[in-house]
Structure 1
Amino acid sequence: MTLIQRYLLTTFTKITSLSLAAFVGIYLLVDFFEKVDDFLEHEAAAHLYIAYFAWKIPLIVSQMLPLTILLGTFLTLGGFTKTNELTAMRAGGIGLQRIVTPFLVTAVLLTGINFALNEFLVPVGTQRSNHIFRTEVKGKTQMLAKRNDLWFREANTLYHIQLALPEKKQLRGISLYLVDSQLNLLTRIEAQAATFKEDQWQAEHVTVRHFDPQSRQLTAQKEENLRLLPLKKTPEDFGTVSGKNEELSFTQLSKISTQMQREGLDATRYRVDMHSRLSTPFACIIMAFLAIPFALQKSRNVNLSLGISISVLIGISFFIVQSTLIALGYSTVLPPFIAAWAANIIFALVGLFLLLSTRD
């Protein structure tokens, strides 16, 4: 790496870091004022304030990183253009490709970091922040972090659920094990599916087996078309019923969507979110690629405040287009892959067109 490239990268890193810190701070401040009434109403301890917002930081960083890369690239190149430093570099024989390479390489590295955040830290942080706000602050029942292969206990009943679909208010592949105080099996209930209706779980195609607690031998068996389950948990306890999957990683979404397809269920929402886990980090590269021609063409007559406004406007436009396309994917108007990746493709083509229009 040449001295000029190190100089460009150092400036870019400083601006991007400051921008990220500023955006994260603003996000936390707004979120604080939205949640503070709930914390005060339930007289939450001071450490819960800190823990709740600390666990949200990975999600905020992941969401703000593409915008900060856009802003960092725009302001760095824009500043050098306005002070004629970029002109001096190009007059000295340094081509545009060598000038922009550090930004694009850094954007690729940050894309990998963003994917790792979404895969490992964001799901855990979202689970923990939701748990603190829902359970420790509001005092509601604890939500289950997993959606498939669930094991839990209520009183003298053990539950195993192959797949939970809270947005559909359904459970698939249910087994109940009723035991005595010595954990001897008394009754086993198996059901293909259960639906939450009228504040209770109604199981379909049920098999009930009774066992002798001493000999553990089967004593009776019967089939039932419909049976009410003693399960006290609601769909909200298995995850948000709004259908959002922020607590799930790409790997988990892939497993769940595959299992749903195997059982003949509609896995569209999960497949859209699965592809979004891959496409969203790539927005870092797209934003850097898009900022380069904007900075080279527009920055000479742009001051700092206007530069920030332009960057934020581009970022908001990307977010609106991406959200719209994902909504179309949820409604099956677009295939999941197209819905997740179309925004990146559209803005990449816009950036390519502007870059080709820029004189070297």
Structure 2
Amino acid sequence: MPIIYKYLTREIFKYFAIILTMVVGIYVAVDFFEKVDNFMEAGLSLSKTFSYLILKIPFIVAQIIPLGILLAVLIVFGLMAKNNELVALKSSGISIYYFLTPVILLGIIFSAFLFFLSEVIVPVSMEHANRIWLKEVRKESAVISKEKDIWIKGNRIITHIKHYDSANKAVFGITINYFDIDFRLIRRIDAKKGVFIQNRWYLYDVAQQNLNKKDNNYKISFHKKLIEKLDFMPDDLMRVIKKSEDMSFKELIAYIRKIEAEGYDATSYRVDLYAKTAFPFVCIIMCMIGTGIAVREKIKEGLPVIIACGIGIAFLYWISYSFCISLGYGEMLTPIIAAWAANLIFLCFGVLILLNAE
């Protein structure tokens, strides 16, 4: 490996590690002071608090990697430009595209690492972190979720939900069982669908059974629509369902097949599936953009400016990515286009910057 390649690789890794450590440290500190009171009220030790925070670190790292690699590339080339090292290298006949090779290779390595982290480490760590937060801190043991089936235990009420659509705040295949003080079933509601509208649950295609205490028989009635007061809100369901980011690629595919086989809409999960493959590639794109910006002559005296520029670019990418994903959820874009649109836009931007960098 040429000396310049070794130098670039070492320096980029060094500044990436510094940036990552700083950002993760700040996030963990803020999260600690925000949640430490909850852990103390639950009677948990500091070691349990730190265990929870450590389990969240892989998820934080996965979100920070693209920004970290972009800023590291900008800082390294910015310092080289400030010290006239780039001018000296260009004067000796070295093209800026020569610098691109090690940077792109690093981008590929970081992309592979990000995919591995998101696929293998994050689902396991977040599952344990959520279990600590929900079961031990929030004491929400009455709500149980296993992939898709949700069981909710209330005050002499047990509710079962087959599927929850978070995008539309809708539940499917809902069964509500009401019991008396002797735990005898006195009322049962079966509904094909329920939608949360204006702080009320509207149930559709309802079959209702009520116990007649005189003859101990159940009276059955049917309703097209029924307004029912339930002891849970959409936010309660969101906290317990297993989110796409908490599933591995294999788990998400199996989940999509299962809910589609049962006739439910899996559009949002398909968007998330394609996003799992699209998001890691942003590391390569950020390396291209960072190199193209940093090797320009204009940034020689403005290192703080290009760092601010890098943060701005990362922010714009995140807005574009989130917007396209939202369009995919709303079925305005196909899942694969929604997941890859932001990458394609910023890839074109990176290529244009590199073409005009000389």
Corresponding position of 1:318 = 317
Shift of the 239–255 alpha-carbon distance from structure 1 to 2, 3 Å rule, reads: farther
Provide the aligned C-alpha RMSD in A. Answer: 4.1
Corresponding position of 1:291 = 290
Corresponding position of 2:47 = 47
Corresponding position of 1:59 = 59
Aligned residues: 335
Instruction: With the length of structure 1 as denominator, give the TM-score of the two structures.
Output: 0.76
Shift of the 262–7 alpha-carbon distance from structure 1 to 2, 3 Å rule, reads: same
Corresponding position of 2:89 = 89
Describe the superposition over 1:62-109 as per-residue Cα deviations: whole angstroms up to 9, x where unpaired. 000000000011111111111111222233343322212111101101
1:111 counterpart SS class: helix
Corresponding position of 1:333 = 332
1:55 counterpart SS class: helix
8 Å CA contact retained: 1:166, 1:240: no
Corresponding position of 1:353 = 352
Matching residue's letter, 2:356: S
| Structural mapping, 1:1-360, within 5 Å | 1-141=1-141, 144=144, 146-148=146-148, 168=169, 170=171, 240=239, 244-297=243-296, 298-303=298-303, 305-359=304-358
The Cα shift of 1:58 comes to 0.6
Distance 2:120 2:324 in 1: 25
Matching residue's letter, 2:260: Q
Distance 1:289 1:357 in 2: 12
Describe the superposition over 1:90-139 as per-residue Cα deviations: whole angstroms up to 9, x where unpaired. 33343322212111101101101101111111112222212111211121
Matching residue's letter, 1:302: G
Shift of the 172–281 alpha-carbon distance from structure 1 to 2, 3 Å rule, reads: farther
1:20 counterpart SS class: helix
The Cα shift of 1:47 comes to 1.4
Matching residue's letter, 2:261: R
Shift of the 267–332 alpha-carbon distance from structure 1 to 2, 3 Å rule, reads: same
Distance 2:261 2:291 in 1: 45
Describe the superposition over 1:292-345 as per-residue Cα deviations: whole angstroms up to 9, x where unpaired. 111012431213x33332221111111111111111221222221111111111
Distance 2:22 2:292 in 1: 25
2:141 counterpart SS class: coil
Shift of the 334–243 alpha-carbon distance from structure 1 to 2, 3 Å rule, reads: farther
1:170 counterpart SS class: strand
2:245 counterpart SS class: coil
Describe the superposition over 1:30-87 as per-residue Cα deviations: whole angstroms up to 9, x where unpaired. 2223323323433432112101110100100000000000001111111111111122
Identify unmatched segments of 5+ residues in structure 2: 154-158, 176-189, 208-219, 224-230
Shift of the 31–74 alpha-carbon distance from structure 1 to 2, 3 Å rule, reads: same
Matching residue's letter, 1:326: I
2:140 counterpart SS class: coil
Shift of the 354–196 alpha-carbon distance from structure 1 to 2, 3 Å rule, reads: closer
Shift of the 300–343 alpha-carbon distance from structure 1 to 2, 3 Å rule, reads: same
1:332 counterpart SS class: coil
Matching residue's letter, 1:140: E
The Cα shift of 1:17 comes to 0.9
Distance 1:119 1:224 in 2: 48
Distance 2:271 2:11 in 1: 37
Distance 2:142 2:104 in 1: 43
Describe the superposition over 1:155-207 as per-residue Cα deviations: whole angstroms up to 9, x where unpaired. xxxx9997665665535599xxxxxxxxxxxxxxxx9967599999x89899x
The Cα shift of 1:147 comes to 1.6
Identify unmatched segments of 5+ residues in structure 1: 175-190, 207-222, 227-231
Matching residue's letter, 1:63: Q
1:240 counterpart SS class: helix
Shift of the 33–122 alpha-carbon distance from structure 1 to 2, 3 Å rule, reads: same
8 Å CA contact retained: 1:328, 1:334: yes
Instruction: With the length of structure 2 as denominator, give the TM-score of the two structures.
Output: 0.77
Matching residue's letter, 2:118: N
Matching residue's letter, 1:295: A
The Cα shift of 1:253 comes to 2.1
Distance 1:143 1:114 in 2: 32
Percent sequence identity over matched residues? 33
